[in-house]
Amino acid sequence: MSSSMYLISSSIPYFATCTWDLLSFTGTKGDIQLMADMGMDAYRFSIAWSRIFPNGSGEINQAGIDHYNNFINALLAKGIEPYVTLYHWDLPQALEDKYNGWLNPQIIKDFVVYAETCIEKFGDRVKHWITFNEPHTFAIQGYDVGLQAPGRCSILLHLFCRAGNSATEPYIVAHNVLLSHATVVDIYRKKYKRKQHGSIGMSFDVMWFEPATNSTEDIEATQRAQDFQLGWFMDPIFFGDYPSSMRKRTGTRLPTFSKLEAALVKGSLDFVGINHYTTYYGRHNSTTIIGNIFNDTLADSGAITLPFRNGKAIGDRASSIWLYIVPRGIRSLMNYIKEKYGNPLVIITENGMDDSNSPFISIKDALKDQKRIKYHNDYLSNLLAAITEDGCNVRGYFAWSLMDNWEWAAGFTSRFGLYFVDYKDNLKRYPKDSVKWFKSFLTST
């Protein structure tokens, strides 16, 4: 995943693109020059935990330190500010084998050591840290439905997963993530912030939800859907506890914070990172089928979210089956965060759309990505309105992504990049029309 640029208008201080690790982005001077040529002034990337500690803890891998030092220095040499994510779902296998990773409180200590090592080694140059990318996603996908690592769930009595408990494990994982994040922030503020003058936040995956109807049931269900998505992590950080709807509907399955933990977690953000792509309708779950089959966070929320209403899609679809284009959603989401959480500083850490990687489309035609240009134009226009007309405190925007790359379960079938990557010709890069559009956009703001 990748992002880098400078941004929207004088109201937003930078525009950028991002990448999750350097597996699909080599960090060559040529690639960094592509960013500079576009006018980007920031690049978001992730450090791989196992590159720093191959066993998750213990001896530091100096080659990994050197790798990221070289990359950070190369970015800064071109005037590109690094925004560094410490965890993007890539837990060292040794810790999963040793004590089940995020299910065990021991993970807090090991993550803190890893994070502080990165801060010590790179913090003299890295001024913007993101502890976790999309904790909601890896809690759900890894421990509720079992579609991503470590593939745990209890759906239909382990028909799909060999082990796990969908009714409890996602909440345990999220709890340990919040405590890990808050501990790192506390250490950063006490030991490093005064000297390094940096900031630290977390990036959340957030769909916007609109009620499917004006009924009270659907309106309340839509709010619950948001509570079980964004509120799950934001409420503890801003209010000291999970949303009341989660407490009410999960009972003792939802972990509790001690007074000291609540105080540690509350206020543990300098900025809120938002990864936003799409908007769905929210509807009350009026059946018991979902609860009987899944017994998980979806059933707990009592809400069903879908991109269709009365058989009609909420917007045009990108290539991914989940990504529908609804530009108004980003403005609504910014206003929701403003009103509920007191208008915190927000950075859009991901926003974009994908095309399919069809073997029947020539490279020449694949570069004509007018749909992507319209996507970014419309989302940025709504974001600008949220800032200038609504007073939302948004300070930056990262497009997803700089280059085509491996898109999780979709693999190489999905192309989110501004640059086309030819997987058949030594990963040669070709600028899509969106590169020209962004370059013009950035030089005109």
Q: How confident is the model at residue 416 (pLDDT cuts 50, 70, 90)?
A: very high
Is residue 11's pLDDT more than 50?
A: no
Is residue 406's pLDDT more than 60?
A: yes
Give residues with Cβ within 8 angstroms of 204, minimum separation 6: 134, 135, 136, 230, 233, 234, 272, 273, 274, 275
Average pLDDT value for residue range 301-309 = 97
Give the bridge partners for 422, in sequence order. Answer: 428
Is residue 33's pLDDT more than 50?
A: yes
Q: Are 423 and 28 in contact (CB under 8 A)?
A: no
3 state SS of 309:
strand
Q: How confident is the model at residue 288 (pLDDT cuts 50, 70, 90)?
A: low
Q: Are 83 and 43 in contact (CB under 8 A)?
A: yes
**Mean model confidence pLDDT for the chain:** 92
Domains of the chain: 17-207+328-443 (3.20.20.80)
Query: How confident is the model at residue 29, as a pLDDT?
Result: 79
Query: How confident is the model at residue 294, as a pLDDT?
Result: 57
Is residue 8's pLDDT more than 90?
A: no
Query: How confident is the model at residue 150, as a pLDDT?
Result: 96
Q: How confident is the model at residue 286 (pLDDT cuts 50, 70, 90)?
A: confident
Is residue 2's pLDDT more than 60?
A: no
Query: How confident is the model at residue 408, as a pLDDT?
Result: 87
Condensed to tens digits (0 to 9), the pLDDT of residues 233-271 reads 999 999 999 999 999 999 999 999 999 999 999 999 999
Is residue 158's pLDDT more than 80?
A: no
3 state SS of 276:
coil
Query: How confident is the model at residue 19, as a pLDDT?
Result: 52
Give residues with Cβ within 8 angstroms of 72, minimum separation 6: 82, 122, 125, 126
Q: How confident is the model at residue 409 (pLDDT cuts 50, 70, 90)?
A: confident
* CB burial string 49-66: b at 16+ within 10 A, e below: bbbbbbebbeeeeeebbe
pTM of the model as a whole = 0.95
Measure the CA–CA gap between 278 and 169, rounded to whole angstroms. Answer: 27
User: What is the percent of the chain with per-residue pLDDT over 90, rounded to a whole number?
Assistant: 88
Query: How confident is the model at residue 289, as a pLDDT?
Result: 55
Which amino acid, 291? G
Q: Who has greater pLDDT, 87 or 443?
A: 87
Condensed to tens digits (0 to 9), the pLDDT of residues 188-202 reads 999 999 999 999 999
Query: How confident is the model at residue 160, as a pLDDT?
Result: 82
Pairing of strands 279-284, 414-415: unpaired
Identify the weakest region by mean pLDDT among 2-6, 345-349, 352-356: 2-6
User: What is the percent of the chain with per-residue pLDDT over 70, rounded to a whole number?
Assistant: 92
Average pLDDT value for residue range 71-76 = 96
Q: Which whole-number Å values give the CA distances from 316 to 98, 105, 170, 304, 320, in the listed order?
A: 45, 43, 32, 20, 11
Is residue 152's pLDDT more than 70?
A: yes
Query: How confident is the model at residue 287, as a pLDDT?
Result: 77
Condensed to tens digits (0 to 9), the pLDDT of residues 174-229 reads 999 999 999 999 999 999 999 999 999 999 999 999 999 999 999 999 999 999 99
Q: Which residue has the tokens 């004006």?
A: 214
Q: Which residues are catalytic?
A: 134, 350
Query: How confident is the model at residue 156, as a pLDDT?
Result: 72
Identify the weakest region by mean pLDDT among 83-87, 156-160, 232-236, 395-399: 156-160
Average pLDDT value for residue range 344-355 = 98
Measure the CA–CA gap between 350 and 400, rounded to whole angstroms. Answer: 5
Is residue 137's pLDDT more than 80?
A: yes
Beta strands in 122-278 (DSSP E): 128-133, 199-205, 208-211, 271-275
